[in-house]
Amino acid sequence: MKVDRTKQKNIFAAICLAPALILLAVFLLYPTIEVFRMSLYNWGGFSNNKEFVGLSNFKILWDDMKFIEAFQNSILLIVVVTLVTLVLSILFAALLTREKLKGANFFRIIFYIPNILSIVVIAGIFSAIYNPTNGLLNSVFGMLNLESLQRLWLGDQSIVIYSVAGALIWQAIGYYMVMYMSSMASIPESFYEAASLEGAGRITQFFSITLPLVWNNIRTTLTFFIISTINLSFLLIQTMTGGGPDGSTNVFLFYMYNQAYTNSVYGYGMAIGVVVFLFSFLLSAIVNAVTKRDVLQY
């Protein structure tokens, strides 16, 4: 009877898991292995001339100026987007949690809106904002008599990457803000009361209570920042700038996709994918190690 029940349970578990596991193997595991395998081949997309070339795709990558450009652009985006989003979302989260503001709930609802929009819509919105002749940003500068600040936001090679960063930051602030707010809300009020009895001001309270106690949450989100900036910048640039002008917004995955698709050098494209994948892991590990602090308990 007992043995029967165990066997029955095992069969039931197998039936429940099998469909999900099979699909995961076919549409997630196999393609991932393929990325690594294909990176070792020279393949033009026609199944006949597939040639094993070992690591030579990676050697070509090493000297590929276009890839190096994509690398620099991606790093710049990751750093700018991470720092600005982090500072702003922590600041706004702290203000919304600590200060008894009228309409705090309204602000929270509004700030989260960009996160629910399709990245294609965001690209459309920012094209309208950055339009050089009748875009919203230039016309606001015009109204304030600040014509000297008007720019070709998407046409000037030296600033276009920051224009893209602006869209990414706009999209991300609300999401991280909500995340930090929930961990800040769990800090006991008595900590702040004790601190203010000892004469600690708001800024001291923020740096000695709020920040240390949400530090772990911030560390976790740093990894998200890296991964999501790599991913979102690809999607945004695909729809907004197409990598231009003149490669100034070329980023990791955009370059990978174009090599594999438009130029049909699949093996080379997959080698880029492997490098980006390993790079994002390495970067996350470094960030994790650097930001390690003793976790405070309360």
Total residues contacting other proteins (rule CB under 8 A)?
87
Token digits for 117?
């929009």
State in angstroms the smallest separation of the CB of 275 from other proteins: 11
Residue from 19, 51, 63, 190 that binds other proteins (CB under 8 A)? Answer: 19
Residue from 3, 20, 65, 289 that binds other proteins (CB under 8 A)? Answer: 20
Q: Is 178 in the site for other proteins (CB under 8 A)?
A: yes
Residue from 58, 112, 206, 215 that binds other proteins (CB under 8 A)? Answer: 112
**Number of other residues whose CB lies within 10 A of the CB of residue 102:** 7
Site for other proteins, residues 266 to 285, rule: CB under 8 A: 266, 269-270, 273, 276-277
Q: Is 77 in the site for other proteins (CB under 8 A)?
A: no
Name the residue among 170, 163, 158, 157 with its Cα closest to residue 131: 163
Q: Is 205 in the site for other proteins (CB under 8 A)?
A: no
Residue from 68, 83, 87, 113 that binds other proteins (CB under 8 A)? Answer: 113
State in angstroms the smallest separation of the CB of 38 from other proteins: 7
Residue from 134, 145, 190, 297 that binds other proteins (CB under 8 A)? Answer: 134
Contact assessment for residue 259 and residue 272, using Cβ atoms and an 8 Å cutoff: yes
Q: Is 204 in the site for other proteins (CB under 8 A)?
A: no
SS3 content of the chain, % helix, strand, coil (to 5): 75, 0, 25
Q: Is 128 in the site for other proteins (CB under 8 A)?
A: yes
Residue with smaller CB distance to other proteins, 125 or 158? 125
Contact assessment for residue 210 and residue 268, using Cβ atoms and an 8 Å cutoff: no
Contact assessment for residue 66 and residue 272, using Cβ atoms and an 8 Å cutoff: no
**List of residues 6+ apart from 138 with CB closer than 8 A:** 131, 132, 150, 151, 153
Residue with smaller CB distance to other proteins, 13 or 295? 13
Distance of CA 120 to the CA centre of its chain: 16
What single-letter amino acid sits at 28?
L
Q: Is 170 in the site for other proteins (CB under 8 A)?
A: yes
Residue from 68, 79, 136, 286 that binds other proteins (CB under 8 A)? Answer: 136
Name the residue among 154, 128, 156 with its Cα closest to residue 140: 128
